[in-house]
């Protein structure tokens, strides 16, 4: 029978000698052999029990609770619970990652962030807002159209949003430098937008036109909870596309 000293167990499992002695004192982990001099020796079965204790502690269970259930649960039970806990943490990290990406894209668009943007992403009633948003989309689009838009429209947390952010920036530069929508710069922007739009709506021109008509309306955009784009930018874009399509039917 293999026996392991307190020092060896401490080193192998990363548990201090003091902790092992405490477990012994409270009756949580009793060494199978204890000499008259006080030396503790642990068997492989003792070490398996220590592994269970360590796993249960990682779930933030107090020692008093661990002592009550330690003999009733298996390693598989503990790992299953721990897996769920880790998955919950991963979901939370993923959600936080998306929110940070959203804020970064808003920062790219506006050059600054205000508390309204930040609070809107972390407030507790996000589910309620999502329900209200879905109800609003139902008034504009059919079930099939909403499913299509759900998968194709870029979200602020997505990397693909950068393409649209850059287009908005290019239009803003044109406006700043008094370049007309009919200029070469305007036509290049129009060409890029048409390509992105065709890719986004997968060739569904009817849905594409329906969406952009709603997008051009400030009221509809607000109702659909779309990111606000200035009227000047949308007007430039519409005129540049019209001019481009006249030359390139």
Domain boundaries along the sequence of the chain: 4-73, 75-123, 125-247
Mind listing the pLDDT tens digit for each residue in 185-197? 999 999 998 888 8
* CATH code for the domain defined by 4-73: 1.10.1660.10
Kindly list the distances between the CA atom of residue 234 and the CA atoms of 90, 169, 176, 225, in Å, as whole numbers in the listed order.
39, 12, 15, 17
- C-alpha to C-alpha distance for 220 and 150, rounded to whole angstroms: 17
Q: Give the chain's radius of gyration (CA, Å).
A: 31
pLDDT in tens, 156-210: 445 556 777 788 889 999 999 999 999 999 999 999 988 888 777 776 777 777 7
What 3-state DSSP class applies to 160?
Answer: coil
**Which pLDDT belongs to residue 127?**
47
**This prediction's pTM:** 0.41
> Which region holds residue 41: left if phi is over 0, alpha if psi is between -120 and 50, else beta?
beta
Question: By C-alpha distance, which of 14, 77, 86 is closest to 50?
Answer: 14
* Predicted confidence (pLDDT) per residue in 146-156, tens digit: 666 555 554 44
Handedness of CA 216, 203, 147, 157 (dihedral sign): negative
């Amino acid at each position: 029978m293999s026996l392991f000293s307190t020092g060896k167990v401490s080193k192998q499992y990363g548990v201090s000698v003091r902790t092992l002695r405490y477990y012994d004192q409270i009756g949580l982990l009793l060494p199978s052999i204890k000499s008259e001099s006080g030396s503790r020796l642990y068997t492989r079965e003792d070490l398996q029990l220590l592994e269970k204790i360590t796993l249960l502690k990682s779930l933030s269970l107090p020692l008093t609770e661990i002592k009550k259930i330690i003999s009733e649960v298996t390693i598989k039970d503990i790992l299953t619970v721990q897996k769920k806990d880790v998955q919950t943490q991963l979901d939370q990290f993923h959600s936080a990652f998306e929110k940070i990406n959203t804020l970064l894209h808003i920062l790219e668009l506006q050059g600054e962030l205000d508390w309204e943007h930040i609070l809107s992403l972390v407030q507790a009633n996000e589910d309620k807002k999502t329900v209200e948003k879905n109800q609003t989309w139902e008034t504009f689009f059919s079930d099939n159209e909403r499913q299509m838009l759900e998968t194709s429209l870029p979200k602020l947390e997505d990397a693909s949003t950068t393409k649209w952010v850059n287009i908005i920036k290019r239009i803003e530069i044109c406006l700043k430098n008094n370049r007309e929508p009919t200029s070469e710069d305007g036509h290049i922007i129009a060409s890029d937008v048409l390509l992105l739009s065709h890719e986004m709506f997968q060739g569904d021109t009817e849905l594409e036109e329906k969406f952009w008509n709603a997008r051009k309306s400030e009221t509809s955009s607000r109702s659909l909870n779309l990111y606000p784009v200035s009227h000047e930018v949308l007007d430039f874009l519409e005129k540049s596309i019209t001019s481009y399509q006249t030359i390139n039917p």
